[in-house]
Amino acid sequence: MASLHHSSAVKAAKVLMVGAGGIGCELLKTLALSGFQDIHIIDMDTIEVSNLNRQFLFRQSHVGQSKAMVARDAVLRFRPNISITPYHANVKDSDFNVEFFKQFNVVLNGLDNLEARRHVNRLCLAAEVPLVESGTTGFLGQVTVHAKGKTECYECQPKPAPKTYPVCTITSTPSKFVHCIVWAKDLLFAKLFGDKNQENDLNVRSSDASNSPENGEDVFERRDNENIEQYGRRIYDHVFGYNIEVALSNQETWKNRNRPKPIYSRDVLPGKLNHQNGNVDKSCATDDLSSVSTMASLGLKNPQDVWSLAENTRVFLESLKLFFASREKEIGNLSFDKDDQLAVEFVTAAANIRAASFGIPLHSLFEAKGIAGNIVHAVATTNAVVAGLIVIEAIKVLKKDIDNYRMTYCLEHPSKKMLLMPVEPFEPNKSCCVCSKSPLSLEINTHHSKLRDFVEKIVKAELGMNSPIIMHGVTLLYEVGDDLEEDMIANYTANLEKVLSELPSSVIGGTMLTVEDLQQELTCNIYIKHREEFDEEKEPDGMVLSGWTQAPLEKKDDNKKLVGNGGSTSTALPTEGQKEVELVEISEETEISGKKRKQPGISGDETNNHNEIQKLDVVDDGEDDLVILDQCDIDKKKKKRLQ
């Protein structure tokens, strides 16, 4: 440390940290203790109780306050003479433009989602400021360095697709608890408490008069004359009883599968719902919605207990009741949130009852919450190690020590007795549309697809643009902005509903579209190829973008000198944010992302687990959520991303 304090590069540096969460708290502390004197922090969040176990700059009394502000105050207490400038804001706000980024010598990311990471990557490229990027998932972590024109950018490598499940597995033939969780969270919870206009694959087929009157009434709507318990029991009997009976009537489905068992609430819980500790009224009366809890009202104390079917039934009915009794205004607008206790209780109970019906082992609320929230429990030590590595790379950046830049991966199990694996960075990917401005091509049915589809699925979702402008030659087809005239807004709104070939400047096969985001200073040229047909299963968006996601063809140098903590190795491990990846432990020649990196000096018999392939579940990006993928005959063919 002492030598760092004397480094003029460190002292003079102005650094921007984005994210003051698990990694960010560690990073800010390490920067301050390493002699950095001018640190700016952006974080849009406030402190939650669940942050306190690892975000050690925060205390119980800070809950609800800005992370960036509290982190600054906490560090100034032991480093009072340095300058820390906090911004309680979203890094995507327009204030944080290229000019803002240009004032920094290096940007350090401690973020938790792909969208923000991509945005910062683009601003760093535009401002020509090096970026040190990071991520952790449990024991796994990595730190990567990105310098325009010298190393690959954050987006040079394709990001993995989120985990998908066929819709029929979720709606009809679950075989794992996670299938029941997805059903409870993304179908049942969404149906009962979410936006009614959203498409939902929850099976609502019903011919039974009591469940589905001929007038087409939605069985999930509460009837006028129904009290909450009657409503809850009707829903329960419909989804766990009646729907299962309907499913059983299709003999073909169950030929090679275990038949599920219909469950009716009267069989599990014959009497009226009663409260073990009788404090339901108290929990209903509270003003603090986050404290409304079925567990409290039913006297269930330990979230790690696995509830019986009767307990799950009680929790199901009680949490539904509590939603109506104390959160009725939110009904219709709710989406599942892992930090919403009542939502987690409802989803746990619903998933468990479904699991019981399908003969799948039941799980505790603690486990169910982890699965539903895609939670891999954070390991404070990994965050601390990663923060240390960020500072090491930041110092190399400041000293312009490019030859020693390293991408470093934290492993869960030692490989060659190493838990940290440093790798030399790749050169920029020449087909990356972000840093190499390489043109893209889009196969699309120009007679069927609307401009809106193109904007939502390609420009926003795939290209990650926030404020796009779309041009065909000199004709502006679409634009987002605060200063637009009313007639322009009306024009663009009308354009959104037109199919591409019928736009004022017709977009057909052979057209080159230019898409630009002024804030990110990113321009992409997209060559349009008209295609009539798409495979609904494999290409559910009805369009295919290519030209960018390929891995670079060339590698920097196969025989570079190796670096490491006590050993010599060089391999590229999964990029952060990957959901389920194969981590290939060191081998003579490891193929990653279509590239081969040779690893001289490593022989096959040096480790027991040589060449072993570990399956890892890397799920730290909140937005890379579970996805239901339609692929069965009973359902419409489409793909959905579910929150």
Ligand X SMILES: Nc1ncnc2c1ncn2[C@@H]1O[C@H](COP(=O)(O)OP(=O)(O)OP(=O)(O)O)[C@@H](O)[C@H]1O
Instruction: Return the active site residues.
Output: 168
Report how far residue 566's alpha carbon sits from residue 51's, in angstroms, rounded to the nearest whole number.
35
435 binds Zn ion (CB under 5 A): yes
Closest residue (Cβ) to ligand X? 21
Q: Within positions 554 to 613, which residues make up the interface with ligand X, using CB under 6 A?
A: none
Binding segment (CB under 5 A) for Zn ion, from list 146-154, 272-280, 371-379, 472-480:
146-154
Q: Which letter does DSSP use for residue 422 in this model?
A: E
* CB nearer ligand X, residue 67 or residue 146: 67
* CB nearer ligand X, residue 22 or residue 552: 22
Sheet arrangement for strand 639-641: 164-166, 627-629, 639-641
- Would you list the DSSP string of 342-401? HHHHHHHHHHHHHHHHTTPPP--HHHHHHHHTT-----HHHHHHHHHHHHHHHHHHHTT-
53 binds ligand X (CB under 6 A): no
Query: How many CB atoms lie under 10 A from the CB of residue 6?
Result: 9
Q: Which two tokens stand for residue 172?
A: 């009809």
344 binds Zn ion (CB under 5 A): no
Q: Which residues contact 114 (CB under 8 A, 6 or more apart)?
A: 159, 464, 577, 621, 623, 624
Member of 153, 202, 355, 356 binding Zn ion (CB under 5 A): 153
Residue 309: contacted member of ligand X, Zn ion, none (CB under 5 to 8 Å, by partner type):
none
Binding segment (CB under 6 A) for ligand X, from list 88-96, 303-311, 494-502, 593-601:
88-96
50 binds ligand X (CB under 6 A): yes
**What's the distance, CA 85 to chain centroid?**
28
User: Per DSSP, what are the bridge partners of residue 526?
Assistant: 440, 513
* CB nearer ligand X, residue 45 or residue 427: 45
Closest contact distance (angstroms) between CB of 373 and ligand X is 8
Report how far residue 519's alpha carbon sits from residue 93's, in angstroms, rounded to the nearest whole number.
9
Count residues near Zn ion (CB under 5 A): 6
Q: Within positions 373 to 412, which residues make up the interface with ligand X, using CB under 6 A?
A: 378
Give the position of tokens 């290229």. 98
Q: Which two tokens stand for residue 3?
A: 């030598």
* CB nearer ligand X, residue 46 or residue 501: 46
* CB nearer ligand X, residue 111 or residue 145: 111
Report how far residue 156's alpha carbon sits from residue 551's, in angstroms, rounded to the nearest whole number.
7
Closest contact distance (angstroms) between CB of 424 and Zn ion is 17
Member of 13, 156, 315, 351 binding Zn ion (CB under 5 A): 156
Q: Which residues contact 494 (CB under 8 A, 6 or more apart)?
A: none
Member of 67, 233, 406, 639 binding ligand X (CB under 6 A): 67
Report how far residue 374's alpha carbon sits from residue 70's, in angstroms, rounded to the nearest whole number.
27
Q: Which residues contact 528 (CB under 8 A, 6 or more apart)?
A: 441, 442, 444, 446, 500, 507, 508, 509, 510, 511, 512, 513
Q: Which residues contact 463 (CB under 8 A, 6 or more apart)?
A: 433, 515, 524
Binding segment (CB under 5 A) for Zn ion, from list 62-70, 217-225, 424-432, 535-543:
424-432
Member of 15, 27, 44, 371 binding ligand X (CB under 6 A): 44
Closest contact distance (angstroms) between CB of 493 and Zn ion is 33
Binding segment (CB under 5 A) for Zn ion, from list 9-17, 64-72, 387-395, 428-436:
428-436
x-or-dash string of contact with ligand X, 108-127, rule CB under 6 A: ---xxx--x-----------
* Cα atoms in the Cβ-side hemisphere of radius 13 Å centred on 141: 29
Residue 126: contacted member of ligand X, Zn ion, none (CB under 5 to 8 Å, by partner type):
none
- 72 SS3 class: helix
* CB nearer ligand X, residue 44 or residue 469: 44
Binding segment (CB under 5 A) for Zn ion, from list 152-160, 442-450, 590-598, 607-615:
152-160
Q: Which of 451, 512, 439 is nearest to 479 (CA)?
A: 451
42 binds ligand X (CB under 6 A): yes
Q: Within positions 323 to 382, which residues make up the interface with ligand X, using CB under 6 A?
A: 378
List interacting residues with Zn ion (CB under 5 A): 153, 155-156, 432, 434-435
Residues that bind ligand X (CB under 6 A): 19-22, 24, 42-45, 50-51, 67, 90-92, 111-113, 116, 378
